[in-house]
Amino acid sequence: MCDSLSCVLAARELLKELTPLKTDCGALCAHACCAGDDETGMLLFPGEDALYKDCAFGKVIPAAFALGGQEARLFVCSGRCEREHRPLACRLFPLFLAFLKNGGTKVRIDDRARAVCPLCDYGMAGLDQEFVQAARKAYDLLLEDEACRVYLKDLYKAFKL
């Protein structure tokens, strides 16, 4: 068991070096998932906003909805970051956790990423399996924390595929 921020940090650590492909997938798309604007950001996990109070490469803004009973927060970056400090959502992209009727969960490609990420066309099999396994472990860690579990469940309900 761990508190929310510890779980998030441990999940981030699992995906510190691994990326969707063994090679730099950003070369395929000119780093499309990093090309947001002032209103577009990556969702922060419970407690993660505390890590970006004095961040030089981005800022935290409120999202217009709640997740896990709390106002959701987005991290809006300048399009470049200190890689070791990138948010968990950036590390998990383009994956998503689905909650199944049998009570289990399944890691899937996030359909919302399809408009941006060319890797989505190749499905899970097209991704580096080490990355997929690390994401599974990261989600398992998050599921151990109640606040992260409720957050992930709400996220699934809000963006059900």
Q: What are phi and psi of 107, to 5 degrees?
A: -85, 130
9 binds ligand SF4 per the rule CB under 6 A = no
For residues 135 and 32, what is the distance between their CA atoms, to the nearest angstrom? 21
Q: How far apart are CA 105 and CA 142, in angstroms?
A: 12
Site for ligand SF4 in 47-66 (CB under 6 A): none
Q: Which of 2, 13, 26, 154 binds ligand SF4 (CB under 6 A)?
A: 26
Residue number, 76 or 150, with CB nearest to ligand SF4: 76
79 secondary structure, DSSP code = S
Helix axes 129-143, 4-14, angle to 10 degrees: 170
List CB contacts of 16: < 8 A, sequence separation 6 or more: 84, 91
74 binds ligand SF4 (CB under 6 A): no
> Which region, judged by CB under 6 A, interacts with ligand SF4, from 7-15, 27-35, 139-147, 153-161?
27-35
Give the whole-angstrom CA distance, residue 136 versus residue 11. Answer: 10
What amino acid occupies position 58? G
Each residue 110-149 as x (binds ligand SF4 by CB under 6 A) or -, in order, gives ------xxxx------------------------------
Q: Shortest distance, CB of residue 35 to ligand SF4, whole angstroms?
A: 8
For ligand SF4, the binding residues (CB under 6 A) are 20, 25-26, 28-29, 31-34, 42, 77, 79-81, 86-87, 90, 93-94, 116-119
